[in-house]
């Protein structure tokens, strides 16, 4: 499905909010050689519902994946890249709780060191604002809930393995 007018406004605002906000106050890419940007032609970042992109897109039945080969115009990078390695979790009361996204564990040192790192409050605040914006759109809100359910399932499986 294409982007609705409402989604267009949401993505414009979200991209603006996260244009120059980064997880640390310094460039975290120097820690890891920008390992979250070392994808190939087969891997990529999931796009949010209707999210526009200039990157090549692989479509599955219900998901769209932006493929970058590790290179993109920073000002046009997907929303998933802008919020990485965090995710806005929708709470039962409708609020947003910004937490580390455990899906980034294999890629991002910040995920593995989350308790030892002082993250940028400005960045976390902006990811929360973006989560609130996304919740104004039914499809985007449903997508957030779907992803957070997948994360919870993955964590439950990982916990069962580590308990063995």
Binding residues for ligand SF4 (CB under 6 A): 23, 28-29, 31-32, 34-37, 39, 45, 68, 70-72, 77-78, 81, 84-85, 107-110
Give the nearer residue to ligand SF4 in terms of CB position, either 3 or 117. Answer: 117
Cα 48 to Cα 21, 52, 132, 133, 145: the distances in Å are 19, 9, 14, 13, 12
* Least Å from the CB of residue 41 to ligand SF4: 11
Give the nearer residue to ligand SF4 in terms of CB position, either 10 or 36. Answer: 36
* Least Å from the CB of residue 94 to ligand SF4: 28
Q: Report the candidate in 160, 74, 91 with the shortest Cα–Cα distance to residue 131.
A: 91
Give the nearer residue to ligand SF4 in terms of CB position, either 52 or 109. Answer: 109
* Least Å from the CB of residue 121 to ligand SF4: 17
In the 8-state DSSP scheme, what is residue 116? G
């Amino acid at each position: 499905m294409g982007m609705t007018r409402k989604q267009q406004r949401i993505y414009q605002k979200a991209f603006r909010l996260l244009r120059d906000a980064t997880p640390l106050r310094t460039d975290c890419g120097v820690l890891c050689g920008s390992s979250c940007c070392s994808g190939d032609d087969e891997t990529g970042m999931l796009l949010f519902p209707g999210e526009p992109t200039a990157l090549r897109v692989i479509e599955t039945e219900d998901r769209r994946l932006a493929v970058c080969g590790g290179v993109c115009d920073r000002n046009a990078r997907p929303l998933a890249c802008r919020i990485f390695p965090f995710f806005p979790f929708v709470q039962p009361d409708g609020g947003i709780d910004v937490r580390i996204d455990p899906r980034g564990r294999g890629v991002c040192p910040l995920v593995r060191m989350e308790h030892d790192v002082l993250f940028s409050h400005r960045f976390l605040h902006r990811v929360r604002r973006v989560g609130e914006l996304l919740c104004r759109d039914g499809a985007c809100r449903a997508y957030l809930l779907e992803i957070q359910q997948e994360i919870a399932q993955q964590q439950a499986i990982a916990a069962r393995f580590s308990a063995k």
